[in-house]
Structures are given as structure tokens and as C-alpha cells.
Amino acid sequence: MTDALKIAVNAADAKKASDLVALDISGVATFANFFLICTGDSSRQMQAIADEVEQRLKANGIRPSHVEGYQNAEWILMDYIDLVIHIFSKNARAYYDLERLWRDGKRLDASKLLEEAKPRPSRTKSKKVQ
């Protein structure tokens, strides 16, 4: 599992993306290893999701090779080579139905990816100051 996928799932969730689906397509595609598919309620929210994903991945030294659809915001595609992120409007997601088209890919548990991306609390005990 790539850190980029975990970061992207966490970023999309932070902007309230709905219906997050992560697919491992490494066994069925040669152009990428993972898809992240999610839905936004409005073009503004979809752009906010894309901005957050891009900002968080950039902070980790990961930049997109290509972004499409940002201005129209019906389907924003962010290509990170091994990871392709699809941010859809509800209508576009239903129309293109990528989950059906890529049903041979392995569906990953997005909630588990969110848990893995959360920082764990420190196990060291702090000393009391007297």
C-alpha cells in the first residue's frame, strides 16, 4: 500500500468527500496501481477536495503528472502515475460507473486506510512539572 493513497484518502475525507472507494488495479492495469474514487456535492466542494489532496501530497514531495477537469468540476482526474484520483459529481459518477468498469480490481477498505493514516498518540509518559 502506498503512503500516497493513504494521504489522498485522508485529504478527501477531510473535505467531506462521500463514497470513497480505493481500488488496487495493479493486477489488471499497466498505467497505475491504485484508483481513489470519491464524490463531491458541488463543483466548489470537488475543487476543495482536489486542492486538499494536491496540497497534502505536495507536502510529502508528491506532485501530479497531470490534472484534468478542474475548471468544469464534473469529473476531476488527478494522475500521480501509480495513483489516479477520480473526484466525481454524483451524476458523472453514476454515468461513468468506474467501480463496475474496474470490478476486477481489488476493493480496499477506505475506513482502514483512514485509520492507518491517523497519527498514533505518543506512548511516552510526560513528566509532571513540580
Residues 36-60 have pLDDT tens digits of 999 999 999 999 999 999 999 999 9
| 88 is a domain residue | yes
Q: Is residue 126 a part of any domain in this protein?
A: no
SS3 25: coil
Residue 74 contacts residue 86 (beta carbons within 8 Å): no
Counting the structural domains of the chain, the total is 1
Query: For the domain that residue 34 is a member of, what is the CATH number?
Result: 3.30.460.10
pLDDT level of residue 116 (50, 70, 90 thresholds): low
Confidence band of 1 (pLDDT split at 50, 70, 90):
very low
| Angstrom distance (rounded) from CA 104 to CA 88 | 21
What is the average pLDDT score of the chain? 88
Burial class of residue 88 in the structure, from the number of CB atoms within 10 Å of its CB (0-12 exposed, 13-18 middle, 19+ buried): buried
Residue 124 lies in a domain: no
The answer to whether residue 79 scores a pLDDT higher than 90 is yes
Neighbours of 69 (CB within 10 A): 17
User: Domain span at residue 52?
Assistant: 3-111
pLDDT of residue 118: 55
93 has pLDDT over 60: yes
pTM reported for the whole predicted model:
0.85
Domain assignment of residue 130, yes or no: no
Domain presence at residue 52:
yes
Angle at which helices 3-14 and 43-59 pack, to 10 degrees? 140
- Is 127 a domain residue? no
Give a yes or no: residue 26 inside a domain.
yes
Is 120 part of a structural domain of the chain?
no
